[in-house]
Amino acid sequence: MSSVLQVATPALLCFEVNGSCYRTRHPFGVQLAIYCFGAMGMLLTVLGNLLVIISVFHFKVLHTPTNFLLLSLALADLLLGLTVLPFSTIRSVESCWYFGDSFCRLHTFLDTVFCLSSIFHLCFISIDRHCAICDPLLYPTKFTIRVACIYIAMGWGVPVVYTSIFLYSKTVEEGLGQFLQDMPCIGSCQLLFNKLWGWINFPVFFFPCLIMIGLYVKIFIVASRQAKQINNMNKRSGSEHQLGPTRRERKAAKTLGIAVGIYLLCWLPFTVDTMVDSVLDFITPPIVFDVLIWFAYFNSACNPLIYVFSYRWFRKAVKLVLTRQIFYTRTSTVDLYQEE
């Protein structure tokens, strides 16, 4: 009996060493389902965001400050799908990390950078829409390509610096030694398994979201008031002339508001769990943690779907890309807004 246990025990571990994590062995059907789900998520994330990037890059009519922010947001989601999700899928199925400590650190770095970059870009897009709706006359001079490029640089630079400090700075690791806990076991790839991380990450997530919610509430109030004023003026004069933001800009604000709402829906459960878990000594079961993180990852595949259902110009651009007309005709100058 003892010999059987000695043979069976190593099979339940990630590595045959002392302190190894225990491996959760899923039935083959469950493993196959997780792999299929992960592959579909990666495919949807990569292809959807690639279409956004190609569309904005190729069609000159889409070369606007807002769309450049959308392009940069799509790039962050695309890179997440290419570099992070494949290895996260394997970790979810095997419940172990087999790619070494150095790559574990790099994987965590890329994961954090791309996710933080997404929320920063959404916050900057909210500021853009706020300017377009609440101050339409000055918007073309206030929010230029140069301003968009500055926001894009901040949207990438701040997450890179912030994550680098916590993952690669020995000074921070030594200075916060009393807050850090040792790795729970070998093979978990939980570099940020400490009480302080959850409390630091929460405001980094929460304050941009609070800004976005406040801006979109104001946008909704101002847009509703302006729509009533425009309708009243048109009724009196019998004119279809519009003052203030155009219908296209109001629709863009509404669409991006939906994107922000979905972002909150996807990321808030994981962020709250990270903070609460750090207080309760990390009691979240691994399978629940996996579900929450994949629910957050799913947000990267959502934005292209939102654009498909909301933007006629995006549907036209996708049709031209998928039918390969962009290679055979001079489509870069096509007016995708013509039917709107």
- pLDDT on residue 220: 77
Query: What is the band of 3 on the pLDDT scale with cuts at 50, 70, 90?
Result: very low
pLDDT > 70? residue 104: yes
> Is the sign of the CA dihedral 258, 305, 158, 188 positive or negative?
positive
- pLDDT on residue 153: 96
pLDDT > 50? residue 4: no
In angstroms, what CA-CA distances link 255 with 78, 126, 310? 20, 11, 7
Q: Which of 17-31, 167-181, 192-206, 246-260 has maximum average pLDDT?
A: 17-31
CATH entry 1.20.1070.10 includes domain 27-327: yes
Hey, which residues does 245 pair with through a beta bridge?
Answer: none
Q: How large is the average pLDDT for residues 109-122?
A: 90
The whole-angstrom distance between residue 291's C-alpha and the CA centroid of its chain comes to 16
Tell me the percentage of the chain whose pLDDT exceeds 90.
18
Burial class (CB in 10 A: 0-12, 13-18, 19+), 241: exposed
Residue 73 in contact with residue 125, Cβ under 8 Å? yes
Of 95, 114, 103, 85, the C-alpha closest to 14 is 95
Greater confidence (25 vs 113) lies with 113
Query: What is the band of 243 on the pLDDT scale with cuts at 50, 70, 90?
Result: very low
pLDDT > 90? residue 71: yes
Greater confidence (340 vs 284) lies with 284
The predicted-structure confidence for 288-303, as pLDDT tens digits, reads as follows: 888 888 888 888 888 8
Q: Kindly report the pTM of this predicted structure.
A: 0.83
Q: In sequence order, which residues have a C-beta less than 8 Å from that of residue 130 and are 6 or more positions away? A: 215, 218, 219
3-state secondary structure of 178: coil
- pLDDT on residue 175: 52
**Is the backbone of residue 19 left (phi > 0), alpha (psi -120 to 50) or beta?**
left
Q: What burial letters (b/e) apply to 250-263, b meaning 16+ CB within 10 Å? A: bebbebbbebbebb
Of 262, 261, 257, the C-alpha closest to 220 is 257
Greater confidence (198 vs 3) lies with 198
In this structure, what DSSP letter does residue 60 have?
Answer: G
Give DSSP secondary structure letters for 9-24.
HHHTBSSSSTTBPBPP
